[in-house]
Amino acid sequence: MKILVLANFGMGLYNFRKELLEKLIQQNNEVYISLPNDEYVSKLEDIGCRFIDTQLNRRGTNPISDFKLFLFYRKIIKKIKPDVVLTYTIKPNVYGGMACTITKTPYITNITGLGTSVENKGLMQKITLQLYRIGLKKSSCIMFQNDTNQIFFRKKSIIKGETRLIPGSGVNLNLHKFEEYPEKEQKIRLLFIGRIMKAKGIEELFKAAVIVKSKHPNVQFDLIGSMEEDYSQEIQELERENIVKYYGQQSDVHSFIKNSHATILPSHHEGLANVLLESASSGRPILASNIPGCVETFEDGITGFGFEVSNVASLVDAIDKFLILSYPQKKEMGYKGRLKVEKEFDRELVINTYLNEISRVTRANEESYQ
Written as tens digits, the pLDDT of the chain (370 aa) is 999 999 999 999 999 999 999 999 999 999 999 999 999 999 999 999 999 999 988 666 678 889 999 999 999 999 999 999 999 999 999 999 999 999 999 999 999 887 776 766 778 878 888 999 999 999 999 999 989 899 989 998 888 778 999 999 999 999 999 999 998 777 999 999 999 999 999 999 999 999 999 999 999 999 999 999 999 999 999 999 999 999 999 989 999 999 999 999 999 999 899 999 999 999 999 999 999 999 999 999 999 999 999 999 999 999 999 999 999 999 999 999 999 999 999 999 999 999 999 999 998 777 666 5
Q: Which phi and psi angles does 273 have, rounded to 5°?
A: -70, 110
Residues 149, 11 share a domain: yes
Number of Cβ within 10 Å of residue 152's Cβ equals 18
Same domain, 160 and 255: no
- Do 35 and 145 lie in one domain? The reply is yes
Do 151 and 208 reside in the same domain of the chain? no
- Domain assignment present for residue 192? The answer is yes
Say whether both 255 and 158 belong to one domain: no
Tell me whether residue 202 is exposed, middle or buried, using C-beta atoms within 10 angstroms of its C-beta: 0 to 12, 13 to 18, 19 or more.
buried
Q: Is 332 a member of any domain? A: yes
Whether 181 is covered by a domain: the verdict is no
- Asked, for residue 177, whether it belongs to a domain, the answer is no
How many CB atoms within 10 Å of residue 277?
29
Does the pTM surpass 0.95? The reply is no
b/e burial code for range 324-361 (CB count within 10 A of at least 16 → b):
ebeeeebbbbbebbbebbeebbbbeebbebbeebbeeb
- 39 SS3 class: coil
Based on the fold, state whether residues 199 and 267 are members of the same structural domain: yes
- Whether 263 contacts 319, CB under 8 Å: no
The answer to whether residue 237 sits within a structural domain is yes
Both 242 and 158 in a single domain?
no
My answer on whether 288 and 271 are in the same domain is yes
DSSP-derived letter for residue 67 is H
Determine, yes or no, domain membership for 183. Answer: no
CATH number at residue 311: 3.40.50.2000
Closest Cα to residue 208, out of 289, 305, 309, 319? Answer: 319
* Interacting residues of 178 by C-beta distance below 8 A, sequence separation 6+: 281, 282, 283, 335, 338
Please check whether residue 182 lies inside any domain of the structure. no
Whether 115 and 194 map to the same domain: the answer is no
Instruction: Indicate whether 323 belongs to any domain.
Output: yes
- Residue 22 near residue 50 (C-beta atoms within 8 A): no
Tell me how crowded residue 301 is: count the other CB atoms within 10 A of its CB: 10
User: Do residue 277 and residue 234 come from a single domain?
Assistant: yes
Query: Per the structure, how many domains does the chain have?
Result: 2
Residues 217 and 101 placed together within one structural domain of the fold? no
Extended strands (E) in 57-129: 84-88, 107-111
Determine the structural domain holding residue 212 and report its residue range. 188-344
Name the amino acid, one letter, at 25.
Answer: I
d(C-alpha 55, C-alpha 106), whole Å: 23
Same domain, 69 and 151: yes
